Amino acid sequence: MALPSPELLDIFMPWAFAIGINSVLLAIAWFTPKKLLTPAGLVHAWILGIILWGTLGWRGYLVMMFYFLVGSAATRIGMAQKEAAGIAEKRSGARGPENVWGSALIATVCALVTYSLTTVGTPWFYALASLFLLGYVASMSTKLADTCASEVGKAYGKHTFLITNLQPVARGTEGAVSLEGTLAGLVAGALIATLAWALGLITAIDVVICVVAAFVATNLESVIGATLQTKISWMTNEVVNVINTLIGAAVAIGLAIGFQIALQAGVV
């Protein structure tokens, strides 16, 4: 009987390990009394975890876990008062499949493209893969910034304004922003980008790029919430999250390309 080639083992072993470790985590989470995900959400998170570990390894996986844990904690900030005001996340913050993919669809696409490009093995494709890896981190930086800005703003925002006209509005209004929420979003976006840098996924300048991209995308998401979301029936929070993270990834990739062009031109 012929043994599998080393090349095949190199390809399939990370995926086998991904299935194993995510299955263990699924079993633990399934029987944990206080759940952060619904049963269906757990299954979809299991699929997401396999894809991310298989494509980006433990480092990319850890970035997503950081988002999930910090984002879930942010959702529970001031939960009692948010529930009393009717502006809390449904199911007391437990995430379902729609939340999993609304938050991570763009990151998953970036991870799959990164993986596909690195298997080609040429310098040009590696350079392109690094841009999509940055897009992965930037999308997560954007989503965590958005989550923390929204949840902290709803819990502690003293003055909230509609982003389109800066008129005072109630906390929890679609498109509302606050100083407290904005600062929380900036810190959250910087933290997850710094983690990615510490893990060797991105460079130091990429951290700055991710923070800028997250700030731009989060504010544009507020504009969408204030203008389109209330008028278009299919534009749910999850759809807006996909748009939000897509903007964050695209802005980061665009800034990185612009920075490299400026470097080569001697502008910076």
Domain region containing 165: 12-265
What's the mean pLDDT when you consider all of the chain?
87
Whether residue 7 lies inside any domain: the answer is no
Residue 53: strand, helix, or coil: helix
Whether residue 4 lies inside any domain: the answer is no
Residue 255: strand, helix, or coil: helix
- Size (the chain), residues: 268
Q: Residues 13-34: pLDDT tens digits?
A: 788 889 999 999 999 988 887 7
* Residue where the block lists tokens 């993270």: 245
Whether residue 52 lies inside any domain: the answer is yes
- The DSSP 8-state label assigned to residue 89 in this structure reads P
Whether residue 2 lies inside any domain: the answer is no
Structure tokens at 214: 């997250």
pLDDT band at 85, cuts 50/70/90?
Answer: low
Q: Residues 177-233: pLDDT tens digits?
A: 889 999 999 999 999 999 999 999 999 999 999 999 999 999 999 889 888 887 888
Whether residue 40 lies inside any domain: the answer is yes
Whether residue 3 lies inside any domain: the answer is no
Looking at the DSSP bridge assignments, the partners of residue 161 are 168, 177
Rounded to whole angstroms, the Cα distance separating 47 from 165 reads: 41
Whether residue 158 lies inside any domain: the answer is yes
Count of structural domains within the chain = 1
Whether residue 1 lies inside any domain: the answer is no
Helix (H) or strand (E) holding 149: helix 123-156
